[in-house]
A = this chain, B = another copy of it.
Amino acid sequence: MEQRKISRAVISRLPRYYRYLGDLLEAGVERISSNDLSKKMQVTASQIRQDLNNFGGFGQQGYGYNVKYLYTEIGKILGLDKTHNFIIIGAGNLGQALANYAAFERSGFILKSLFDVNPRFEGVAIRGIPVRMMDELVDFLKENEIEIAALTIPKSKAVEVADILVENGIKAIWNFAHTDLDLPDDVVVESVHLSDSLMTLSYNVSQRREGLTEDEE
């Protein structure tokens, strides 16, 4: 596949394209014009054309996009045509929520184990996937090819655990801890800061409350 430099802004929109195209596919839609996709996604048609042009040749003027082809190609770009083994550190509610989300597996993310310090999880399995104790982590990483670790632990432990993961070959961290992680450049970190999201919501609610309108651009 041709590789060129794609801007972060475009990349950040790809999962959303992928989601909409997946919905269209499920609904049996075979082709869609950039105008129709534009209405659905509430993005301008010209933005859609520009974004998808980055990958070349998916659309034909006046004929629209082939939904399945575009879905598959964007999937490849996102790395979803390969499998990614992952583990979850923290078997609390959030860790279990992630473990129970079967759609991840359909996208190639294979959960191999959860880990926790709490002995009440000893011997527990979630969807058949065992929770192991944290003192088994390093050996487990040595014996298994794990690429991604999701961190659903408190911020007080996150930095220390992230360092152990990276020392033992983890190349990507999906971070739910309430802190940023400062890791070597070759480690990918994707953070989901739930409280940042709630504060953005709170800001917007407060603005509405005060009767200030916000322009949607």
User: Hey, which bits of chain A sit against chain B, CB under 8 A?
Assistant: 3, 8, 11-12, 14-16, 18-19, 23, 41-42, 77-80, 82, 84, 92-94, 96-98, 100-101, 103-104, 107-109, 147-148, 171-172, 174, 178-180, 182, 185-186, 188, 190, 192-210, 212, 216-217
Contact = CB atoms under 8 A, between A and B. Distances in A.
B97 A195 contact: no
17 contacts: A3-B210, A14-B199, A15-B193, A15-B197, A16-B196, A78-B199, A79-B205, A79-B207, A92-B97, A97-B97, A104-B195, A109-B198, A171-B208, A174-B198, A190-B197, A190-B198, A192-B194
A79 B206 CA distance: 5
Contacts of A104: 195, 198
Copies of this chain held together in the complex:
2
B203 A197 contact: no
Contacts of A109: 198, 202
A210 B205 CA distance: 43
A194 B109 CA distance: 13
A204 B190 contact: yes
A99 B16 CA distance: 27
A194 B15 contact: no
Nearest to A150: B198
A111 to B, nearest CB: 12
Nearest to A215: B5
Contacts of A42: 180, 182
Contacts of A16: 180, 193, 196
Contact of A107 (B23, B79, B82, B199): B199
A19 B196 contact: yes
B206 A19 contact: no
A23 B158 CA distance: 15
